[in-house]
Amino acid sequence: MFTQHAFRAAIILAASALANARADAYEPAVYITELTDASRARTMEVWIWGPAEHKGSATTVAGNSVFEPVTGSVSRGFAPGPHPLLVFFHGTSGNTRSIAWLSSALAARGYIVVSANHPGSTSLQVTQESMMQTWLQAEDGRFLIDMLLESKEFAASIDAERIGSIGFSLGGYSALAIAGVRLEIRKLQDFCRASPGEETCKLFPDTLYGPQVAGEPQNRDVSDPRIRATVSLAPGFVPALDPESVADVDIPVLVMAGSEDEMLPVEHHARALAGRFVRGEYVELSYASHFSFLGRCTSGALEVLREESAEFLCHDPAGSNRQAIHDRAIRYITAFLDASFDRGQR
């Protein structure tokens, strides 16, 4: 089940578009490497997903003790293109594995998807200081696009006129930021003074008002004009978004969230973006929580997470099914991106 909140009172995606959403046309392939942005002294593990050139070499990849693996072939060769490129941003304390379910699904539908373990926001690296460095993921995204468009291995497979962004949680904000949305950190300060019990505000109660934000570096423009469409899943920092920058975004924007989001309640976050983008669409999935957008959990995940008091990563609302939520999300996201990039349905 799902609920919809349409921009400008319009139905965001027609039933026919969902019914005909691009089915798995390819076997997903992934190439894992390490890249360094020397100008910013940032080295990151990078996963590049795409449609495999040949079928039949699939194995299980990206799994760990918490998240189930996904199917893909390990290769640097993709099917002849050019294919649209998506840069995918993970959430705070997330990583490329936790979002591999969606990266691989998009690769199976003919997209090249690049994601990185962003220093400072990746698992086991997060500090209060790094959480306030809100611009870093989007800057990483611009670097990754540059690298892929210049690479001998992948440039020929990419359609440089069809580049988009996608992200979850902090990454949901980053996907909007690289599309042109800017922060006003004072708005977040005001929001947290009024709502100190919000989970977002409890993450950085001291640093939000400290010297790290005195010069308001969070407000910088980190947009990339090559982004032609964006998908933001359960985005963070919504109360702090500069309204003029939101109104100025003229590319297609899909915002998606779970109705039971306990981390970023939709009434103050994702749903607050409904109607604010010129070419925006909003989907709210019933029985989905914030962490329903992470991968499916293994049978032993709760025992592993209990040691870190992080069982919430695998707790879904009563009556929900994470795989069903994923299936629904993929259909919406694929239909939106195919329409945004004028891709024919298979």
188-225 pLDDT per residue, tens: 999 999 999 998 899 888 899 998 898 999 999 999 99
- The CATH number linked to 46 is 3.40.50.1820
Cα–Cα distance between 96 and 90 in angstroms, integer?
7
**Residue 5 scores a pLDDT above 60:** no
User: Average per-residue pLDDT in the chain?
Assistant: 90
- Is 229 part of a structural domain of the chain? yes
Give me the number of domains the chain comprises.
1
- Is 37 part of a structural domain of the chain? yes
- Is 346 part of a structural domain of the chain? no
Alpha helical stretches, state H, the chain: 15-19, 100-108, 128-131, 136-150, 170-177, 185-194, 199-203, 243-248, 301-306, 322-340
pLDDT digits (tens, 9 = 90+) for 211-262: 889 899 999 999 999 999 999 999 999 999 999 999 999 999 999 999 999 9
Contacts of 146 (CB under 8 A, 6+ apart): none
DSSP one-letter string for 183-231: B-HHHHHHHHHH-TTSHHHHHSTTGGGSGGGTT-GGG-----TTEEEEE
- Is 132 part of a structural domain of the chain? yes
Write down the residue that tokens 């590319």 correspond to.
251
- Is 122 part of a structural domain of the chain? yes
The pTM (predicted TM-score) of the whole model is 0.92
Contacts of 115 (CB under 8 A, 6+ apart): 46, 47, 49, 87, 88, 89, 90, 96, 99, 103
- Is 175 part of a structural domain of the chain? yes
- Owning domain of residue 235: 3-340
pLDDT digits (tens, 9 = 90+) for 104-129: 999 999 999 999 999 999 988 889 89
Burial (CB count within 10 angstroms: exposed 0-12, middle 13-18, buried 19+), residue 42: middle
- Is 284 part of a structural domain of the chain? yes
- Is 59 part of a structural domain of the chain? yes
